[in-house]
Amino acid sequence: MGKVKSNFKILFIALVTVLLSSCSKNYSPEQKKYIAEIEKFRKDKDDFMKNNSDSPFNQDPNARFHPLKYYDVDPGFVFKSRLHEYQRKDTVLVYGTKGEERKAVRFGFVNINYKDKIYKVNVYKSWTKDGKEYYSIWFTDETTGKDTYGVGRYLDFDFNPDSDYLYTIDFNLAYNPYCAYSSKYSCAIPTKEDHIALAVEAGEKNFHN
């Protein structure tokens, strides 16, 4: 019996050591501040989703709210890149989740360097129904359909006309379109060219997992 207790104590100490080591990453004060800001942003978004009249959960009586799910904030998924505009900006057909056709301009791309490998990420120019232009990134990756929403995820992109401007591409801000929460909505489906061949373990996870 004493040997069993001793072995259990050793296993318990080992488990605690692993847990503590996994939670004690050596983040700089700047990184800790950034993590706190993203966590506050997520808390505020939950408040919007739960209480705002424009939220999909308040627009669709069949949608049931619970806090959104995320990967832990990871400063390693924040990148810097210039925007490389395509010389030929093709207008492409993008399909919505209800099967409708949409048009968008494949405007350019940014490069992300993850573990010494470069990945190209497309940037699209689109228009709202009232004619206002906006830019965005939509993508799938190796987590799509597993930990993350099966259609794909989005990143907002604020275009700057300065060709030397250095953009921040922060996958901790990757989010699900509204169709992830309610069938009332239709959202753009990323094309084959928008797949990132790595597991982007950052940002929002699948709401229904």
Position 148 in a domain: yes
Q: Per the structure block, which two tokens stand in for 96?
A: 């919505």
Position 123 in a domain: yes
Position 204 in a domain: no
Q: Per the structure block, which two tokens stand in for 134?
A: 């906006």
Extended strands (E) in the chain: 78-81, 84-85, 91-95, 101-114, 117-127, 133-139, 153-157, 167-170
196: closest CA among 110, 80, 82, 100?
110
| Domain that residue 85 falls in | 67-194
N-term to C-term CA, the chain: 42
Position 31 in a domain: no
Say how many domains are in the chain.
1
Q: How is the chain split among helix, strand and coil, in percent rounded to 5?
A: 30, 30, 40
**pTM, entire model:** 0.86
Position 117 in a domain: yes
- pLDDT per residue rounded down to tens, the chain (209 residues): 554 444 444 444 444 344 444 444 789 999 999 999 999 999 999 999 999 999 999 999 999 999 999 999 999 999 999 999 999 999 999 999 999 999 999 999 999 999 999 999 999 999 988 889 999 999 999 999 999 999 999 999 999 999 999 999 999 999 999 999 999 999 999 999 999 999 999 999 999 98
Give the span between the Cα atoms of 84 and 6, in whole angstroms. 61
Position 205 in a domain: no
- The DSSP-derived string for 192-204 is GGGB-SS----SB
Position 171 in a domain: yes
Position 40 in a domain: no
